[in-house]
Amino acid sequence: MANIAIVGAGQAGLFLGFGLLEDGHEVTLFSDQTSDAILKGRLPSGMGLFEDAVRKEAALGLTFWEDVMTRGEGAILEFINPDGSVGLHICPPVARPHRGVDQRLKNSRWMQELERRGAAVRVVPLASPDELDKHVAGFDLVLVATGKGSISSLFERDPQRSPFAKPQRHLIGMLVNNFRPDLRSGTIRVLPGVGEVIITPFYGRENVKGRFLLLEGIPGGPLDQFPRELSGRELLAACQRTLRALLPGQLEDLKDAELPSEQCWLRGALTPTVRHPVGRLASGKAVLGLGDAVMLHDPLAAQGGNNATHMADFYRNRIRENAGRPFTAEWMQRTFDDFWQAYGQYAMGVTAGLLMPPAPHQQTVLTAAHHVPGMAEALIGGLYDPRSLFPWFVDPASTREFLLSKGVPPALMERL
């Protein structure tokens, strides 16, 4: 069995650590924070997982909050007219599960559980590749699952696979309570030319069955006009006023929403980016990137955590298949390339696709999904498994045949 180092205590690194332990490897986790510091820190994201990723967590005995959280069921996509009314409502007839657990709670608990199951956990500074280099000598394989600080410089941007050179949205995310406590579905409201408003069930650090409210504002638009100096509670009040104007009559109960604490919100911007997966430390040691370190997603399509989980599981299987052989740089590159071909390219494609205005053939698909339940199921199913959208959603030549297979009337396909 191999002696493996994992750098980073997030979804990808921790999940892989549990799988490698189960396979009999020696695992050392490096983190720049203790589990207690993670738990007491600021909300890092509103990450949610779809059913395939949740099943993989359950198989490793890691779903610790099923008995206390509100279980997410189903996703709804709505396109909003200029007057704020709903133009298209896309809701599959059968709801599929998803889960949102506060990463502070989850990563802290997982870090403790990983150590309990036999991994070594070391809390060390990880601000630079040179600091990392001091800690990872002697390991058979080093996986870097964090892009914090200058560690991201280990992995160069891959321009051929990176769809954008700058952020496409400016983000505000908030964990709120006293807002739609019985909501189980996740809802994406698309305001063309403005951005998106996403609401989903979310289990918070304070044992709150809350909701995660995500505003994705197109730069310079109405969802990108909030002063930077606002506190969290002031920002929530400003968002309430803006959403009341943009979506009249739709989110009236948002007026009662509250932040559990000033640590329960975030804002910023992400550029969807793919990086070359093999990095070299000053010592010459090759390291393999994992999760956000090499594939960074805008949260609009909720692919980041899911992609990280599937990547970690893919790496685990490749590590198992490589038993007794060295983990060369060539093996690392091939492992990532194979994951990209099998899954990663589709996850990145869905993220990029939702960030862009729909092409004419995609507008036809959206209209069909509004009218035909089978098309609604196929379209929303692409969030749960992005591979299922290809090629018919991105290739106009494939669209008509797919729509016909779902029973879409020819009258709805006039644009094709």
CA atoms of 235 and 246, how far apart (whole Å): 16
The residue ranges of DSSP E strands in 114-185, in sequence order, are: 120-123, 141-144, 170-176
Residue numbers of the domain that contains 84: 72-98+168-268
Closest CA to 112 of 45, 24, 33: 33
- CATH code for position 176: 3.30.9.40
What does 338-376 look like in DSSP terms, one character per residue? HHIIIIIHHHHHHHHHHHSPPPHHHHHHHHHHHH-HHHH
- Nearest 5 degrees, angle CA 308-CA 311-CA 315? 140
Instruction: Check: CB of residue 64 under 8 Å from CB of residue 349.
Output: no
- CATH code for position 7: 3.50.50.60
What is the radius of gyration, based on Cα positions, of the chain?
22
Write down the number of H helices and E strands in the chain: 12, 18
What's the pTM value of the predicted model, to 2 decimals?
0.96
Number of domains in the chain: 3
With 0-12 / 13-18 / 19 or more C-beta atoms within 10 angstroms meaning exposed / middle / buried, residue 87 is middle
What does 92-128 look like in DSSP terms, one character per residue? -SS--EEEEB-HHHHHHHHHHHHHHTT-EEEE---SS
CA atoms of 14 and 64, how far apart (whole Å): 15
Q: Say whether the peptide bond before residue 93 is cis (omega within 30 degrees of 0).
A: no
Per-residue pLDDT of the chain (416 residues; tens, 9 = 90+): 999 999 999 999 999 999 999 999 999 999 999 999 999 999 999 999 999 999 999 999 999 999 999 889 999 999 999 999 999 999 999 999 999 999 999 999 999 999 999 999 999 988 789 889 999 999 999 999 997 778 888 999 999 999 999 999 999 999 999 888 778 999 999 999 999 999 999 999 887 778 999 999 999 999 999 999 999 999 999 999 999 999 999 998 899 999 999 999 999 999 999 999 999 999 999 999 999 999 999 999 999 999 999 999 999 999 999 999 999 999 999 999 999 999 999 999 999 999 999 999 999 999 999 999 999 999 999 999 999 999 999 999 999 999 999 999 988 887 77
Which tokens in the block code for residue 305? 């955590």
Does 116 share its domain with 10?
yes
Residue position matching structure tokens 């396109």: 79
Does 91 share its domain with 109?
no
- Quickly count: other Cβ atoms within 10 Å of residue 407's Cβ: 11
Tell me if residue 226 falls in helix, strand or coil: coil
Quote the crossing angle between the two packed helices 304-321 and 329-339, to the nearest 10°. Answer: 130
Does 177 share its domain with 259?
yes
* DSSP label at residue 382: H
Does 278 share its domain with 262?
no
Does 41 share its domain with 144?
yes
Does 19 share its domain with 93?
no
Q: Which of 243, 268, 293 is the last residue of a domain?
A: 268
Does 328 share its domain with 189?
no
